[in-house]
Structure 1
Amino acid sequence: MIANFFNKTKPVIIVNLLLMFAIFYFVSVFYFHEVAFSIASLGIVFAVFLAFVFMLLLINFVLRKNNLTEDNSYTLLIIILLLGSFYETMYSKNLFFSNLILLFAFRKIYSLGSGFNTKKKLFDAAFWIGVSTILYAWSILYLILIYLGLIIFRKLSFKNLCIPIVGFLTPVIVFFTFHFYFDTLTVFYELFKFDFSFDFVAYNALKFLIPISLIIALLLWSIVALVPKIVLISNTFKLAWQVILNHLIISIIIVLFAPIKNGSELFFLILPTAIIIANFLQRTTSTTFKNMILYLLLAISVGVYFL
């Protein structure tokens, strides 16, 4: 059964997950997205695929390093199924690289609880958020997550409050200097226009409505079921859980404000959503229930290709 198979993190399971992702990726790219059959175009497709593989392995590293889930592959499985469900995420290169860069920031934010190299982690996290903001302006909101992390992990001090500002401004100033030198400052100013849209008409399509409805239901169910259990424990995960919830809230805000609503903006929700649902599944004693949820997610991730 699917729940038992992904209940561990073995190399063979990771390989199977990557093969599953490869199927979703290449079907979505070649079936729904026009790709010129040239060496250059195919090279870009395969390069992005390898970047996705790197992203998935990096996520697995972040999860293990910060104990955000137990020793299982549920999070990676759910991430891949969500990418398959919202296949627009797999050929929106700008959003993909923005989220890939943000992973380096999240790695630092979630590790603030360790108490080691706090100032370096704050600078690095803000630096990567600055780089991501250059690619996608609304990524700037994740600066809030750094300060929430400082509050949650009790690392507040005047220096710690200032360091993220310096870290964020470093790549932004370099970006400004580049365009100032080449007299293309209009490109820099475009970065901070912060266009937004509240037009959710696209979500009425069944290919969005069905998976989004399921994800909302699962998220609410998971949070309601987990909060009472996690509040009672006294380990470091309780603090990390607060960061995860705030990560989810900020991601929702970014999706709500996203200027283009075509499904690719849901990329920001995938990581916190997968972590929350994975934690819910691993604390569920019923194997039948776990299988039902995972098979339902699998069915929808395949079904959207026929809608």
Structure 2
Amino acid sequence: MLSVFFNKSKPIHYVVLGILLLVIFTVSRLNVQVQELDTLWILKQLGVFIALIISVFVFDFFVTKNKLTQKNSFKMLLFLVFVAILPETLMNAKIVLANLFLIFALRRMLSLRTHRDVKKKLFDAAFWVAAASLLYFWCIVFFILIYVALLVYSFSEIKNYLIPLVGLATVGIIVVCYRILMNIEILNGLKTFTAYSLDFSSLNSKRIIIGTTVLFSLGLWSLFYYLRNIKSKMKSHRPTFKLIVFNLILCLFVIAVAPSKNGSEFIFLFTPLAIIITNYLEIISEKWFKESFLWLLVVTPFVILVL
């Protein structure tokens, strides 16, 4: 039974989920047509897989450390299942890496709860968000989340609100220096870089429609209980749970304005969605319902595959 096996966090889970992730990644690559299978292509795929597996384990680390869920492996399982439901999220190496940088940034934002090393954490968070935006411009909206974190964690010093700008400026200066050294026009390609689109017609495929319908339906249902149960959490942890909701909203915005909608942009949604649905799984008292809920998610990729 899935609910029983993943109900506790055990070392064996990392092995099982690591193998599962490798299988999902490999299968997703079977449908990709490659003009020339060379060493460079293989190294690129290896880099994408390493970025993905680091994302999953760092995600598990900061969620557990900040007590956003109980000590179980549901969150990691859900993250992997989301990837299996929408394998298109692995098609763009830059977006996979950008998502990893955002996970690093979110980890630093959530750690502000302790009110220790605040300036360093703010700089790090802004730096990672800026780095992510170099790979995928609209990641810049997560810069807003840093200021939301300052507000929900009740920081009042003005200088704390200026530090993220220093982190952003640092990345900007590095980019400008690089372009000058490489003799590249500083504003070259800026229009393409900041492009956006509200046209969702490119997502009109059976797999993406079914996959997103399942994720949004279960996510919306879980979000209702997540919001309702925030008041039952420890007072010191409530801001952290609220921050995840703001993160979810920003992820939806990024998906909405994505210039090239091919499904890869949905990877940004997996982090907050896995946390929210895991919280719902933890409050389900009926074992049969919890098991059915999990199996519905696990079976979805196979159903999509045969349709």
Distance in structure 1 (CA, Å) of the matches to 2:125 and 2:89: 23
Alignment correspondent of 1:46? 46
- Can you list the C-alpha shifts for 1:258-303, whole angstroms capped at 9, x where unaligned? 0011100101111111111011111211221111111111111223
Q: Report the alpha carbon displacement of residue 35 of structure 1 after superposing the two structures with TM.
A: 6.6
Alignment correspondent of 1:265? 265
Please state if 1:86 is matched with 2:86. yes
Q: Which range moved further: 111-120 or 295-304?
A: 295-304
Distance in structure 2 (CA, Å) of the matches to 1:126 and 1:192: 23
Q: Which range moved further: 147-156 or 179-188?
A: 179-188
Q: In the alignment, is the contact (CA less than 8 A) between 2:179 and 2:185 conserved in 1? A: yes
Alignment correspondent of 2:231? 231
Please state if 1:72 is matched with 2:72. yes
Q: Which range moved further: 128-137 or 33-42?
A: 33-42
Distance in structure 1 (CA, Å) of the matches to 2:188 and 2:84: 34
Runs of 4+ in 1 over 6 A off after TM superposition: none
Distance in structure 1 (CA, Å) of the matches to 2:271 and 2:35: 28
Pairwise CA RMSD of aligned residues?
A: 1.7
Alignment correspondent of 1:279? 279
Distance in structure 2 (CA, Å) of the matches to 1:33 and 1:235: 52
Identity among equivalent positions (%) equals 31
Alignment correspondent of 1:104? 104
Q: In the alignment, is the contact (CA less than 8 A) between 1:176 and 1:188 conserved in 2? A: no
Q: Residues 166, 192 of structure 1: CA spacing in aligned structure 2 closer, same or farther, 3 A cutoff?
A: farther
Q: Report the alpha carbon displacement of residue 97 of structure 1 after superposing the two structures with TM.
A: 0.7
Q: In the alignment, is the contact (CA less than 8 A) between 2:222 and 2:280 conserved in 1? A: yes
Alignment correspondent of 2:256? 256
Q: Residues 289, 35 of structure 1: CA spacing in aligned structure 2 closer, same or farther, 3 A cutoff?
A: farther
Distance in structure 2 (CA, Å) of the matches to 1:97 and 1:33: 22
Specify the SS of the correspondent of 2:122: helix
Q: Which amino acid aligns with 2:52?
A: F
Q: In the alignment, is the contact (CA less than 8 A) between 1:134 and 1:191 conserved in 2? A: no
Distance in structure 2 (CA, Å) of the matches to 1:286 and 1:35: 51
Q: In the alignment, is the contact (CA less than 8 A) between 1:179 and 1:187 conserved in 2? A: no
Q: In the alignment, is the contact (CA less than 8 A) between 1:95 and 1:136 conserved in 2? A: yes
Alignment correspondent of 1:95? 95
Distance in structure 1 (CA, Å) of the matches to 2:60 and 2:162: 31
Q: Residues 188, 100 of structure 1: CA spacing in aligned structure 2 closer, same or farther, 3 A cutoff?
A: farther
Q: Which amino acid aligns with 2:131?
A: V
Distance in structure 2 (CA, Å) of the matches to 1:36 and 1:66: 45
Q: In the alignment, is the contact (CA less than 8 A) between 2:7 and 2:74 conserved in 1? A: yes
Q: Report the alpha carbon displacement of residue 186 of structure 1 after superposing the two structures with TM.
A: 5.0
Alignment correspondent of 1:174? 174
Distance in structure 2 (CA, Å) of the matches to 1:186 and 1:30: 39
Distance in structure 2 (CA, Å) of the matches to 1:102 and 1:76: 17
Q: In the alignment, is the contact (CA less than 8 A) between 2:180 and 2:186 conserved in 1? A: no
Q: Which amino acid aligns with 2:240?
A: A
Specify the SS of the correspondent of 2:213: helix
Alignment of 1:114-125 (within 5 A): 114-125=114-125
Q: Report the alpha carbon displacement of residue 112 of structure 1 after superposing the two structures with TM.
A: 0.8
Alignment correspondent of 2:199? 199
Q: In the alignment, is the contact (CA less than 8 A) between 1:137 and 1:191 conserved in 2? A: no
Q: Report the alpha carbon displacement of residue 140 of structure 1 after superposing the two structures with TM.
A: 0.6
Q: In the alignment, is the contact (CA less than 8 A) between 2:51 and 2:96 conserved in 1? A: no
Alignment correspondent of 1:211? 211
Q: Report the alpha carbon displacement of residue 174 of structure 1 after superposing the two structures with TM.
A: 0.7
Q: In the alignment, is the contact (CA less than 8 A) between 2:176 and 2:186 conserved in 1? A: no
Distance in structure 1 (CA, Å) of the matches to 2:24 and 2:175: 35
- Number of aligned residue pairs: give it: 307
**TM (normalized to structure 2)?**
0.95
